[in-house]
């Protein structure tokens, strides 16, 4: 009897967690497992804000996929997915066409510009490890160029961050640490540097406890970071951004660097599959399968799940994506055995938002924490993520141990 083929697209948190848990619990004679990813490495997307600011090197946020998969159980293919044929049960890539019996889609997120003119051309996005390297080098270039100019253009030293959600605030926290270092390195007076966060919504960190939000904003403002809340970006140009400050009231902010961190969507390939979706995110069934497609599972940023207690979607976090991967692996094994699948129930242990190397805010096991204690918990969470995928050896190799 032919072994079923399990095809996993994407080696993000959800896809990699699926594969790692499959290889732990399934024999090589039970199924053929293939993992397809455009890079031969996984990057910790929750660390990209650090690489973007320059407080972590890009190589520190990534590790080789070969380090965590077992070659005798999982075939890895380095390829970019170009199309998904649900009816024909095939996936086309730039490295061939692959058939499947069961498909797991974990293709991650894309930046959402909401149709704002110029953002896709003139704003940088914390999208992946290569983009993070680009942001870091771009900021350093602006500082270096300013220091060499005979006639100084101070707008080179203005950094506009679009978005005061999780990613935006964590990036601002790292910038708060990085800017003094850049000023010292390039002989730039720190008072010349301007870091401005622009947010269309009327609040910072929506969904976070107001007391913790107040702490975060105060901490960042003490580092010289400015906030313009309730002021949407309406256009980006090569010189900066135009924001709306009121009815028919606009302001142009000249800036050498614009980083957009104000929204994500699922991978656009989802929209070409015929599976019902919203901004390329699929409202999955309780066992993580796509509605009407019993052989297709969706994990991570491409999956949409409603928290029925508050009637809002669960945030697409690494914590949830990895838990989804565990459940999907169990359900795939159950399907192969002819058994019933199980419902995915998120086990939310809390959420911590970093404000730089030694400060953070968060709620862990229902308790609010700030400062060094929250920063320590953030590193514990980061290390636990590594442990769940690669065990102690990966923690030793890539873990965060600087807690002072």
Instruction: Look at residue 285 in the predicted model and tell me its pLDDT.
Output: 95
Instruction: Look at residue 402 in the predicted model and tell me its pLDDT.
Output: 72
Instruction: Look at residue 312 in the predicted model and tell me its pLDDT.
Output: 82
Q: How far apart are CA 341 and CA 331, in angstroms?
A: 5
- DSSP secondary structure of 264-294: EEE-GGGGGS----BTTBEE--TTSEETTEE
Question: What phi and psi, each to the nearest 5 degrees, are found at residue 342?
Answer: -115, 155
Q: Do domains 5-38+79-111+265-348 and 119-263 have the same CATH topology?
A: yes
Instruction: Look at residue 110 in the predicted model and tell me its pLDDT.
Output: 87
Does domain 119-263 fall under CATH 3.50.50.100? My reply is: yes
Instruction: Look at residue 43 in the predicted model and tell me its pLDDT.
Output: 95
Instruction: Give residue limits of the domains in the chain.
Output: 5-38+79-111+265-348, 119-263
Instruction: Look at residue 6 in the predicted model and tell me its pLDDT.
Output: 97
**Burial (0-12, 13-18, 19+ Cβ within 10 Å), 152:** middle
Instruction: Kindly report the CATH class assigned to 5-38+79-111+265-348.
Output: alpha beta
Kindly report the pTM of this predicted structure.
0.94
| Residues labelled as active-site residues | 170
Average pLDDT for consecutive 10-residue bins of the chain (404 residues)? 91 96 88 96 95 95 96 96 96 97 95 91 95 97 97 97 95 97 97 97 91 97 96 96 92 97 89 91 95 96 88 86 97 95 91 93 93 94 93 93 65
369: Cβ contacts below 8 Å, ≥ 6 apart: 352, 360, 361, 362, 363, 377
């Amino acid at each position: 009897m032919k072994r079923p083929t399990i095809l996993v697209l994407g080696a993000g948190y959800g896809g990699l967690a699926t594969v790692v848990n499959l290889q732990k619990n399934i024999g090589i004679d039970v199924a053929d497992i293939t993992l397809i990813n455009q890079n031969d490495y996984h990057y910790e997307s929750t660390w990209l804000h650090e690489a973007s600011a320059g407080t972590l090197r890009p190589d520190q946020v990534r590790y080789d996929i070969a380090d965590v998969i077992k070659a005798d159980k999982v075939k890895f293919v380095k390829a970019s997915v170009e199309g998904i044929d649900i009816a024909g049960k095939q996936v086309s890539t730039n490295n061939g066409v692959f058939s499947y019996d069961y498909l797991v889609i974990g293709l991650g997120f894309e930046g959402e510009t909401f149709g704002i003119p110029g953002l896709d051309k003139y704003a940088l996005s914390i999208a992946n490890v290569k983009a993070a390297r680009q942001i870091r080098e771009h900021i350093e270039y602006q500082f270096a160029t300013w220091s060499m100019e005979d006639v100084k253009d101070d707008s080179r030293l203005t950094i506009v961050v679009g978005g005061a959600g999780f990613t935006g605030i964590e990036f601002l926290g790292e910038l708060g640490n990085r800017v003094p270092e850049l000023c010292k390195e390039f002989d730039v007076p720190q008072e010349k540097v301007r870091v401005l966060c622009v947010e269309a919504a009327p609040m910072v960190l929506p969904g976070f406890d107001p007391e913790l939000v107040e702490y975060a904003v105060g901490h960042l403002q003490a580092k010289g970071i400015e906030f313009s809340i309730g002021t949407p970006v309406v256009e980006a140009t090569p010189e900066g951004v135009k924001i709306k400050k009121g009815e028919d009231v606009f302001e142009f902010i000249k800036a050498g660097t614009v980083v957009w961190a104000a929204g994500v969507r699922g991978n656009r390939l989802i929209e070409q599959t015929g599976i019902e979706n919203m901004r390329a995110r699929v409202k999955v069934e309780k066992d993580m399968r796509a509605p009407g497609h019993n052989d297709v599972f969706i994990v991570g940023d491409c999956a949409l799940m409603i928290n029925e207690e508050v009637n809002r979607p669960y945030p697409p976090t690494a914590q949830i994506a990895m838990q989804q991967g565990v459940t999907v692996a169990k359900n795939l094994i159950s399907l192969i055995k002819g058994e019933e699948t199980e419902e995915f129930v998120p086990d939310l242990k809390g959420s911590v938002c970093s404000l730089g190397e030694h400060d953070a805010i968060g709620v862990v096991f229902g308790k609010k924490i700030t400062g060094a204690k929250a920063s320590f918990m953030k590193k514990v969470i980061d290390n636990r993520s590594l442990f769940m995928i690669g065990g102690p050896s990966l923690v030793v190799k890539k873990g965060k141990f600087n807690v002072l």
